[in-house]
Amino acid sequence: MEKVQIAGSIMDFYAQLCKNVGLRKKDLIFPIFVSELSSSGPLSNSNDMSGMNKIALKDVVQNVQKIIDQGISSLIIFGIPNKRDIGASSALSNEGIVQNSTRKIKKEFGGSVNIITDVCICQYDLSGHCGLQIKNHDATEGNIDNDSTLDLLSKIAISHAEAGADIVAPSSMMDGQVIQIRSALNSKGFKNTKIMAFSAKFASSLYSPFRKTAYSKQIHNYKTLDKSSYQIGYENPRQAIREVQADIQEGADMIMIKPSLLYLDIVSMIKDKINFPMAVQNVSGECAMVKAAARKGWIDEEEWKVSSIAAIKRAGAHSIISYFTMDIAKYLDD
Ligand code: PBG
Ligand code: ZN
């Protein structure tokens, strides 16, 4: 006979579901957005990422304490600077928002927290692109310049390592970013700083809520900004495998696939073909769709959160980056 789900046991039901797919607290990574604004506030005015905040530097320690209190010890830090410029100069400043936040968190929590920093320029450069652009002679937008971007990414990674990052996570999808960052870190004595490579990042409008928060003030075309010359096309699983293999050969300690739910076939395939530590990011649009549909009363928010994260784990992710991390942590004992 089919079991009837009664309200009192729904917590147990979700807890069991998480357990059945082998989900542990140490698998979960929580994204935090640190901002140069003087006070903390919600990520964006609309509700699409409700519950997520832009955290001002003065509030960083208190926020991280709350995360640690729930047994989550891995964070990925995204920076939201006040100003952009041509060349993304504030991305590599020792006084940048990611560097300052990392230093504060490490000073307070030391080894009890695992800090991953996003290494890219798109929040800092006036173009919104993840690579530097060469201007054409008529000053119109030109192509992305892979090599000069690699130099810049290496400097950013070093500045994060100096601030105390445990893992740097290059998200710009430039060719050769892992090997260049690895050798730059080694040359400065940061042999123990690890690299999580955003290896298979598919071009996607599912990044829009993230961009709305991090870009929209100055990049008005943030929704349609075309990154398909360096991010992967969804029809191309073989390219995903090639990118993953290249990053492993270049010295990545962990590879990463994003977005998540539309790409679980890729996750599962990579798990089977290449058994290597793999993180999967459940991105902003995936979070926003659940929230929006739940707000309309069309779906059960809690059930969707749990089943999304459980599905990613089931497909073979070792680590999961998700805005739902804190909602899921409550169902896990360890
Ligand atoms: C950019 C970056 C993006 C995200 C993380 N890093 C957006 C993009 O590539 O345009 C998206 C994350 C999310 O949607 O949650 N380097
Ligand atoms: Zn970027």
Distance 34 CA to ligand 1 centre (A): 15
Cross-strand bridge partners of residue 329: none
Query: What is the average pLDDT across 23-46?
Result: 93
Place domain 10-329 in its CATH homologous superfamily: Aldolase class I (3.20.20.70)
Ligand 1 atom nearest to 209, measured from its CA: 14
Burial class of residue 117, CB neighbours in 10 A (0-12, 13-18, 19+): buried
Ligand 1 atom nearest to 210, measured from its CA: 14
Distance 73 CA to ligand 2 centre (A): 24
Beta carbons within 8 Å of 327's beta carbon, 6+ residues apart:
302, 305
Q: Hey, what are 240's tokens?
A: 């995903």
**Helix, strand, or coil here: 215?**
coil
**Helix, strand, or coil here: 92?**
helix
Write down the pLDDT at residue 6: 57
Q: Which ligand is nearest to the CA of 130?
A: 2
pLDDT band at 5 (very low <50, low <70, confident <90, very high): low
Sign of the alpha-carbon dihedral angle for 283, 284, 289, 295: positive
Q: Which of 62, 71, 170, 64 is nearest to 116 (CA)?
A: 170
pLDDT band at 142 (very low <50, low <70, confident <90, very high): confident
Least confident range from 24-38, 139-153, 178-192, 245-259: namely 139-153
Measured between alpha carbons, how far is 5 from 147 in angstroms, rounded to an integer?
57
Measured between alpha carbons, how far is 91 from 100 in angstroms, rounded to an integer?
12
Residues with CB under 6 Å of ligand 1 are 118, 120, 122, 130, 171-172, 207, 210-211, 227, 283-284
Residues annotated as catalytic (active site), given as ranges: 201, 258
Residue of 210, 211, 216, 230 to test ligand 1 pocket, by largest number of atoms within 8 Å of CB: 210
Distance 191 CA to ligand 1 centre (A): 27
Distance 121 CA to ligand 2 centre (A): 5
The overall pTM is greater than 0.85 = yes
Ligand 1 atom nearest to 206, measured from its CA: 14
202-228 pLDDT, tens per residue?
999 999 999 998 888 889 899 889 999
Write down the pLDDT at residue 1: 46
Measured between alpha carbons, how far is 328 from 6 in angstroms, rounded to an integer?
20
φ, ψ (nearest 5 deg) of residue 80: -125, 95
Which residue in this structure is represented by tokens 């046991």? 9
Question: Where are the alpha helices (H) located in the chain, listed in sequence order?
Answer: 10-20, 60-69, 97-109, 146-163, 177-187, 208-214, 237-250, 264-273, 284-295, 301-315, 325-329
